[in-house]
Amino acid sequence: MCHADAMSANDSICVLGLGLIGGSLLRAAVTAGRAGFGYNRSGGTVAAARAAGYDADSDLSAVLTRAASENSLIVIATPVTALDSILDAVAHYAPGCALTDVISVKTVVNQAISAHGLSGRYVGGHPMAGTAESGWTATDPKLFTDAIWAVTTDDDADPAVWQMISALALDVGSMVVPIATDDHDRAVAAISHLPHLTAAVTAAVGGGEGALALRLAAGSFRDGTRVAGTPVPLQRAMLESNRPALLTVLSDTIDRLTRARDDLRDAGSVQVVTDDGHRARRRYETMATGEPDPIVGVEIGAPGWTGDLRHQAHLGRVWRG
């Protein structure tokens, strides 16, 4: 219902940045039948996208002028470090377009959007999908199938824009999790950014033991350190832009490991840490393998709609339109 509403009139998207996420989104949206075109700074990426049959250009002002004339939904898929220059251009060439992003932190994006006077047409997004690979060559139109797509749902959200962003996520096969900006950043610090740091440290300690130790490495090391292989600039952009939330969960992690070390040293036991981890992992597996319950009974734009969505999302439910 809302899906059809959001698709009415115009389903064109303009993707800024055609790396793994942005490129996959352009491919997925076009595959889903939408009109779509994209921008990338690198001529090589533009050439690769064009060779694959997509409408791409490295002229940002031309792309944004076209987005304004077609009233496209603009999706920012650049690294967070490029955000200010991108928003300068958006504010200049296409200030009236609905606007979202796929960047993995939301507070800093919100602040930048606000500083550029674009808050009224903006609702943030964050597809929880990705690999340790990057760039157009890694793009996959099925990247978002059955993925979770966080959509910021603060009290000042424009219902029409919220529906456009959610409809895009649903169109490419994802499920929407409505979430407040600060809740999002705290959650991804815990379940995405922290795992990058623990993977990095686990890899470094193992690597410090030399070739013999790495030769013995099997499943626990392979899986536990996988994301340490993500290009360092991508990791830094993501983690460093979520500093306050990441510091909180990182301190919690250090405290837990220190207690584990003390228990092992003083009592020879790792019971508490393995029990806590096992219980959390089982809870995650139950959620990840089951079909999520849908959010029900919320009319987008009705009084209290943002709070109602957030309340149900806190129970683990997802928006399916």
Closer CB to its own copies, 127 or 141, in the complex: 127
Closer CB to its own copies, 51 or 257, in the complex: 257
Closer CB to its own copies, 97 or 176, in the complex: 176
Closer CB to its own copies, 60 or 227, in the complex: 227
Reference 144, options 83, 223, 58, 75; nearest CA is 75
Per the CB < 8 A criterion, the answer to whether 25 and 172 are in contact is: yes
In angstroms, give the least distance from the CB of 257 to its own copies: 5
In angstroms, give the least distance from the CB of 156 to its own copies: 20
Main-chain dihedrals φ then ψ at residue 115, nearest 5 degrees: -60, -25
| Sheet with 56-57, edge to edge strand ranges | 56-57, 36-39, 13-16, 73-76, 99-101
Tokens encoding 212 = 């013999």
d(CA 66, CA 103): 23
In angstroms, give the least distance from the CB of 318 to its own copies: 7
Closer CB to its own copies, 35 or 147, in the complex: 147
In angstroms, give the least distance from the CB of 149 to its own copies: 10
| Residue 204 DSSP SS3 | helix
Tokens encoding 139 = 């793009």
Tokens encoding 123 = 């609702």
In angstroms, give the least distance from the CB of 276 to its own copies: 4
| Residue 302 DSSP SS3 | coil
Closer CB to its own copies, 50 or 279, in the complex: 279
In angstroms, give the least distance from the CB of 166 to its own copies: 15
Pairing of strands 125-127, 148-152: antiparallel
DSSP state of 27: H
